[in-house]
Amino acid sequence: MVRETAVTVDDLVYPLFIYHGKDLRREIPSMPGQFQLSLDRMGEVVDEAVALKIPAFLLFGIPAEKDAVGSAASQDRGIVQEAIRLIKKRSPETLIITDVCFCEYTDHGHCGPLHEVGGRIDVHNDATLPLLAEQAVSHARAGADVVAPSGMMDGMVAAIRDGLDSAGFAHIPILSYAAKFASAYYGPFRDAAESAPAFGDRRTYQMDPANGDEAIREVALDLAEGADMVMVKPGLAFMDIIRRVKEKFTVPVAVYNVSGEYAMVKAAAQRGWIDERRIVMETMLGFKRAGADMILTYHALDVARWLQGG
């Protein structure tokens, strides 16, 4: 009766890696229990999550062809677009959130096309904006319910909002990865999504973990541009940011319990060094207590099972 905080299955979003090709269910070595799934094998996992009443998926696509501008990202027959249609056919009620970015689609692994500034190669922020709008519209056209731009480009939310509105998708909300830090915790994800930058890093567009105030400014900017919900990422090392965002703004706050956080728990659990179930549930409670309204986590299937007494 006096517990303040609860975790429920409605809090969970389950990320999926949809991989080109056929008959593929390949376990990601640094993420035991998570898979690269081809379109024809994705259904097994989708059905499992739906049976556990997980309300939403976050989709990532890994295409066969990558190029300098990531053109495979915005094709109507692209990998994520096809995945959306298949999931909607299987389970119309399940919410589909799509990650909107280019790092899985560019041959250089950066989150947008490149240009040279002052003798240095970097992402071309402003050239990325119309491409992000185009990608978001193609996701919405395929049936996505929410689009989640993750590239930390300045102006991305406004550009996507304009693009969606003028294509007839004014009703599609934007979940912005607003407070996304340049983090070593994304390592296993980059193996899973084959999206490690071929050179350099993402520190010119993602945030310095030392800067909490800047995260608040980034969130304010994204909300001013029209974001409906905001994300803090990673989770564990940034619990204070979740709390600050929750207290300062009145929009839903998502936390991304990222790949490196998952990998650490799995590695220790496999050695019998920790009690996985208790550790994971304690972490989920921590996110909720910090102020998160939803949790994107690779533990989603297990958490749902444990909540249902499994």
Q: Which residues bind Zn ion (CB under 5 A)?
A: 101, 103, 111, 151
Do residues 198 and 109 make contact, with C-beta atoms less than 8 angstroms apart? yes
Whose CB is nearest to ligand PBG?
Answer: 189
186 contact choice in Zn ion, ligand PBG, none (CB below 5 to 8 Å, kind-dependent): ligand PBG
C-beta closer to ligand PBG: residue 99 or 225? 99
C-beta closer to Zn ion: residue 137 or 152? 152
C-beta closer to ligand PBG: residue 141 or 190? 190
C-beta closer to ligand PBG: residue 44 or 201? 201
110 contact choice in Zn ion, ligand PBG, none (CB below 5 to 8 Å, kind-dependent): none
**DSSP string across 130-156:** HHHHHHHHHHHHHT-SEEEE-S--TTH
C-beta closer to ligand PBG: residue 203 or 248? 203
In whole angstroms, the minimum distance from the beta carbon of 101 to ligand PBG comes to: 4
Q: Which residues bind ligand PBG (CB under 6 A)?
A: 99, 101, 103, 111, 150-151, 186, 189-190, 202, 258-259
CA quadruple 171, 172, 173, 176: dihedral, nearest 10: -150
In whole angstroms, the minimum distance from the beta carbon of 130 to ligand PBG comes to: 18
At residue 86, the 3 state secondary structure works out as: helix
Query: What are the CA-CA distances from residue 148 to residues 133, 136, 228, 250, 269 (Å)?
Result: 11, 9, 10, 18, 31
In whole angstroms, the minimum distance from the beta carbon of 74 to ligand PBG comes to: 16
In whole angstroms, the minimum distance from the beta carbon of 42 to ligand PBG comes to: 18
**Maximal CA-CA distance, the chain:** 62
Nearest by Cα to 222 from 160, 145, 293:
160
Kindly give the pairing relationship between strand 294-297 and strand 229-233.
unpaired
Give start and end residues of each alpha helix (H) in the chain: 42-51, 79-90, 125-142, 156-166, 187-192, 212-224, 239-248, 259-270, 276-290, 300-307
In whole angstroms, the minimum distance from the beta carbon of 1 to ligand PBG comes to: 36
CB neighbour burial string for 11-34, b if at least 16 within 10 angstroms, e if fewer: bbbbbbbbbbeeebeeebebbeeb
In whole angstroms, the minimum distance from the beta carbon of 111 to Zn ion comes to: 3
Active-site positions read 180, 233
Query: What are the CA-CA distances from residue 43 to residues 10, 47, 86, 98, 273 (Å)?
Result: 21, 6, 8, 17, 34
Do residues 1 and 284 make contact, with C-beta atoms less than 8 angstroms apart? no
258 contact choice in ligand PBG, Zn ion, none (CB below 5 to 8 Å, kind-dependent): ligand PBG
Query: What are the CA-CA distances from residue 172 to residues 3, 113, 143 (Å)?
Result: 35, 26, 10
C-beta closer to Zn ion: residue 151 or 260? 151
